[in-house]
Each structure stands twice: as C-alpha cells, then as structure tokens.
Amino acid sequence: MKEDTQERSLAATLALAAASREEEACERFRVLRHEAAPLDLYLVETWTTAAQRDEHKSAAHTQEFLGAYGELFDGAPVFLVCDELA
C-alpha cells in the first residue's frame, strides 16, 4: 500500500475479499498483512476450478479493485498460481 492511502487501500481490499467470498466458486479468500512490512498485503484465494478463478478476474468487483490499484498501491500486482500440497 502507499503510506498515504493505507485506510482506503485496506478498505478496498477488504471489500474485494467480501464480494469475492460471495462468489459460488470461492472456497477461500484471505487477506494477510506482512508483520515486518505492514504496507504489504497478500491475498490468498482458492477457487473450485481454474476456469472459475479466471471468471473471477472479470467480475465487476475485481475489475473495480484493479482499476483503482495504481492510486492505492505501489508497483504492479503480482499474481502467483500455486498448487496446494498439504
């Protein structure tokens, strides 16, 4: 997050999480803050299928969040797709 937009950034992220959790295919959507770097947020999402995860990317609430990203956060978002092993 940008230091001067912390409140708005966190509110936007929590709104994204709440709307995403309402999607039928969302199994988990967590928002984590890095202990040593409190301006860094991590979103951990689990979707029923890869196709449904991709559909989520085009959802209105996701597009709204991504559209505001540049004014709220430094740098570009980093997306990692991982397989859960345990």
| Mean pLDDT, rounded, of the chain | 95
| Structural domain includes residue 16 | yes
Quote the DSSP letter at residue 79: -
- Structural domains counted in the chain: 1
Q: What is the DSSP string of 27-68?
A: EEEEEEE-SS-TT-EEEEEEESSHHHHHHHHTSHHHHHHHHH
Around Cβ 46, how many Cβ atoms within 10 Å? 13
Does pLDDT of 27 surpass 90?
Answer: yes
User: Domain range for residue 62?
Assistant: 3-71
* Residue 8 maps to a domain: yes
What is the reported pLDDT for 79? Answer: 92
Residue 37 is assigned to a structural domain of this protein? yes
Asked if the structure places residue 81 within a domain, the reply is no
Handedness of CA 57, 62, 68, 72 (dihedral sign): negative
Percentage of the chain beyond pLDDT 90 is 94
What's the pLDDT at 1?
93
The verdict on residue 84 lying in a domain is no
Q: Note the pLDDT tens digit of each residue in 42-79.
A: 999 999 999 999 999 999 999 999 999 999 999 999 99
Q: What is the CATH number of the domain that holds 14?
A: 3.30.70.100
